[in-house]
Amino acid sequence: MKNYDFAYHITNFLTVYLPRQRNASQNTILSYRDTFSNLLRFCQEERGITPEKIRFEKIDAKLIQDFMLWLESSQHASASTRNQRLAAIRSFFRYLQIEAPEHLLLATSILAIQKARKSKPVMKYLTHDQTQALFFCPDVNDWDERRDLALLYLLYDSAARVQEICDVTVGDLHLESPATVRLTGKGRKTRIVPLSATVAALLAQYISERGLDAPGKASLPLFANRQNKKLTRGGVSYILNKYVDRANEEKENSLPGDITPHCLRHSKSMHLLESGVNLIYIRDFLGHEDVKTTQVYAKANPELKREAILKAHADDSAPQLPAWQDNPGLMKFLKSLG
C-alpha cells in the first residue's frame, strides 16, 4: 500500500473518520475536501508532483509552509482562510498519528506549524432602530418578499447561524405557545431556541399561505428558492443585502453597507445583553460551548462598559477635605520651603 499511502489515508479521513467517528457536518467535510484539493493543485503546479504520485515521503513541513504562502500570494487568501486550511491539515495529521504511527515524526513536524496572526475585526451589529428599519423594507404585498420578511425575522429572533437557517425544515418549528425552533449547528448538535409570539404568528401565516402545513410537508425546507430547493448561504446573503440597499435608499447611511447574516446573530445577542439577560443564558441560546466565547459581546459594547463603571462608582461623594489655606501650620511649612 506504500505507493498509495497518501491517497488511502486522505480517502479514509474524508469518507470514514470525519463523518462516522467525528460526526463532522457536511459543510466541514466539504471545507476539508477543498483544502486537500488546493494542496494537490499546489503540488502539481509548484512542485511538479501529480496527484497520483504524491506519497508521504514527498511531504514535509516545508511543503506545507510553502503551500500556506502560495494560498496567500497566488490565491489571495486572507489570514482567516489560511488558518482554516491549516486547521484542516492539522486535523488530518492528528488522525494520521493514530492510524499510521510510522509517520509520527512527519505529523509532529507539521502540527508544529504556527497559525498566521490576524487582527481581530470589529464586531458589527445593528442597533434596535437599525434592525427595525431593515424589517420595514420588504413589501408585505409581494409574495416573495413576504417570504423574505419571515426569513429575516427568524434569522434575527433565533440568532441562528446562516447555515442553520438554511437547514430548518417545517417540522423543526413548534409555533404553539411557547413557540420554538430546533436548530442543527456545528457538529450536528441540535438546540431548541425560543421564538417571540410576534415571529411565531408571522411564521404561522407564512406556512399557511405556502401550504406547508399540509400532511407530509414536515421534512421540506422552511425557506426555498424558485426551484423549490432550500436556500443557500449565498442566497440568504443576497436577500439580506437587497433590503440593506433598500433601507439606505430610503434613509441615507442608516445601515452599514457590508452587513452579513451573521451580523443579525450578533445584533440579537447584543440586544439580549443590553436587556440584562445573563451571559450563561445567551451562551445556551447561541449554542456556544464555552461562556468565554459569549463574553466577546460584553467586550464589544462600550456603552455596557460605561454603565458598569458608573454603577461601580454610584456614590461619587468624597470626604470633605479641609481648606489648606486655613491651616497655619501647613502654610508656615510651605513658606519655609522657599
Contact predicate 219/128, CB 8 Å: no
Distance of CA 28 to the CA centre of its chain: 13
- Characterize 247-261 residue by residue with b for buried, 16 or more Cβ atoms within 10 angstroms of its Cβ, and e for exposed: bbeeeeeebeeebbb
22 as an active site residue: the answer is no
Tell me whether residue 283 is one of the annotated catalytic residues: no
Which of these, 148, 142, 135, 141, lies nearest to 223 by C-alpha position? 148
Q: 229 with 166: CB under 8 angstroms? A: no
From residue 205, alpha-carbon distances to 161, 209, 282, 323 in Å are: 23, 6, 28, 73
Annotation says 161 is catalytic: yes
From the list 186, 191, 217, 242, the catalytic residue is 186
From CA 170, how far away is CA 81, in angstroms rounded?
Answer: 34
Query: Would residue 8 show up in a list of annotated catalytic residues for this protein?
Result: no
288 is catalytic: yes
| Cell digits of residue 120 | 481581530
Which one of 161, 266, 268, 283 is the catalytic residue?
161
Residues in the chain: 338
Does the bond joining 302 to the residue before it have cis omega, within 30 degrees of 0? no
Q: How far apart are CA 153 and CA 246, in angstroms?
A: 17
Choosing from 9, 82, 265, 268, the catalytic residue is 265
The strand pairing partners of 190, in sequence order, are 184
Q: Which of 17, 153, 206, 297 is catalytic?
A: 297
Identity of the residue numbered 104: L
Report the catalytic residues: 161, 186, 262, 265, 288, 297
